[in-house]
Amino acid sequence: MDKLLSLWYESGIYQMALGQFSMIVVCLLLLYLAIKRGFEPLLLVPIGFGGLLANIPAAGLAFSAVENAINSGNPDVLQSLAQSLQLATWETGKDIYSAYESASASVHILAEQTAKDLGFLNGMLYNFYTISIASGAAPLIIFMGVGAMTDFGPLLANPKTLLLGAAAQFGIFATVLGALGLTSLGLMDFSLADAAAIGIIGGADGPTAIYVASLLAPDLLGAIAVAAYSYMALVPLIQPPIMRALTTEKERQIVMVQLRPISKLEKVCFPLVLLILVALFLPSAAPLLGMFCLGNLMRECGVVDRLSDTTQNALINITTIFLGLSVGSKLSADKFLDLKTLGILLLGMVAFAIGTACGVLMAKLMNKVSSTPINPLIGSAGVSAVPMAARVSNRVGLNANPQNFLLMHAMGPNVAGVIGSAVAAGVMISLVGG
């Protein structure tokens, strides 16, 4: 009976807290939305499954060796860790963890070695996170894959649509101010770095949001990633009402002229020129934009088809698995069940709505001064949810005029939005990270 009781006390059912149970329900909901409703399944399936693993009681899959040692609650283990952290007095494991968080790098190493000597190891998801996100590798590799799948032809054929992609990024900066405003009113508790990371959700670019959050607000990574990918999946529901509210029936019926053909030389030179110009003015954007332009160059140059194919398929798929599991590791109850999470979800929606509205309004303004007509609907594609935002613009245009095909025209601001979100991320990292 003693053995049976010991087994029961060590089981996950006995040790499960209400927060962990709640997060398991949330993760099952994410899996339902991904599998049944088709909401960004490539990311939400591994994210939801990673969240399930992270919330299994006593498994310690999302924690470091030191955190697992502290969570064990063993007095002898806690005493050994306290000595390695040079603590004269302590009362609970939380005291030790706080000391560990504020300790120097050399003390960190000593504490980690002490935990490992006592038989505790880093959790599987913790290792995935360290390798894929904390190092910055996974979002950058995915950005390279996105570049390899991107055609800059529509943007090159109509360069002024770059302004639409730039205008749509206003939602990012407006949300930063909104987050800081809520903090000043005492409704939230966001630092400037938190606000900058949250604002990037408005760019509707998941890899960029994850990359910025991993640098500026790692504790908010789970909520930011879930918000970013959820709103990307909800583009067909969120954008059309905003587009219709800001345009007239006559504006939605505007037919745009056919785009000019783009030469191979233009397509090969563009990623090189783009990288050099942006990196010279904003070096902090070089990692994201550099990998994006490398992927696009491999696509367009025509001499590395094997590399381009690998980048577009096998490499990006493998990276997506580990990225999703790593993000899921941040969906543990102690990190996700917080008032900040609700604030992030609301601010993310505001950022997305403002970005969509600003793209449409910029298109209306350009239509006033342009010699060739511009359908304002393509402005909503300035958020970088490629190619979903462009498809939504095309669908709303077809509803207004069955002869109006806006897809290729909308791809111009759509890919410009990818560039714009990378530049906005570089600005945030440069100003806030520095």
Q: pLDDT tens-digit profile of 112-128?
A: 999 999 999 999 999 99
Rounded CA separation 110/80 (Å): 11
Instruction: Express as a percent the part of the chain with pLDDT over 70.
Output: 100
Write down the pLDDT at residue 10. 76
Write down the pLDDT at residue 150. 92
Mean pLDDT (the chain, rounded): 90
**CB atoms inside a 10 Å sphere around CB 351:** 31
**CB atoms inside a 10 Å sphere around CB 271:** 24
Rounded CA separation 196/188 (Å): 14
Taking residues 16-27, what's their average pLDDT? 90
Write down the pLDDT at residue 92. 81
Q: Are 166 and 417 in contact (CB under 8 A)?
A: no
Checking if the pLDDT of 258 tops 90, the result is no
Rounded CA separation 341/290 (Å): 31
Tell me the residue length of the chain.
434
**CB atoms inside a 10 Å sphere around CB 191:** 14
Classified as helix, coil or strand, 325 is helix
Taking residues 282-302, what's their average pLDDT? 94
Checking if the pLDDT of 323 tops 70, the result is yes
Complete DSSP assignment for 112-140: HHHHHHTT----HHHHHHIIIIITSHHHH
Pull the structure tokens for residue 366: 């350009």
Write down the pLDDT at residue 25. 94
Rounded CA separation 261/239 (Å): 30
Taking residues 272-281, what's their average pLDDT? 92
Q: pLDDT tens-digit profile of 142-189?
A: 999 999 999 999 999 999 999 999 998 998 998 999 999 999 988 888
Taking residues 253-280, what's their average pLDDT? 92
Taking residues 371-395, what's their average pLDDT? 89
Residue type, 97: Y
Pull the structure tokens for residue 265: 């030389």
Taking residues 240-267, what's their average pLDDT? 92
Q: pLDDT tens-digit profile of 196-220?
A: 999 998 887 889 999 999 999 998 9
Global pTM exceeds 0.75: yes
Write down the pLDDT at residue 214. 92
Write down the pLDDT at residue 314. 95
Give the relative orientation of helices 235-246 and 221-233 as an angle to the nearest 10 degrees.
60
Residue type, 89: T
Rounded CA separation 320/37 (Å): 20
pLDDT band at 299 (very low <50, low <70, confident <90, very high): very high
Contacts of 152 (CB under 8 A, 6+ apart): 262, 267, 270, 271, 296, 415
Q: Which residue has the tokens 């994850």?
A: 210
Write down the pLDDT at residue 388. 86
**CB atoms inside a 10 Å sphere around CB 311:** 24
Q: pLDDT tens-digit profile of 66-94?
A: 999 998 888 899 999 999 888 878 888 88
Looking at per-residue pLDDT, the higher value among 28 and 231 belongs to: 28
Q: Where are the alpha helices (DSSP H) in 36-168?
A: 41-54, 65-72, 75-84, 93-102, 105-117, 124-129, 137-148, 153-157, 162-167
Q: Is the torsion defined by CA of 165, 170, 173, 179 positive or negative?
A: negative
**CB atoms inside a 10 Å sphere around CB 394:** 22
> Residue 97 class from Cβ within 10 Å (0-12 exposed, 13-18 middle, 19+ buried)?
middle
Backbone φ, ψ for residue 163 (5° rounding): -65, -30
Q: pLDDT tens-digit profile of 417-432?
A: 999 999 999 999 998 8
Checking if the pLDDT of 434 tops 70, the result is no
Contacts of 9 (CB under 8 A, 6+ apart): 15
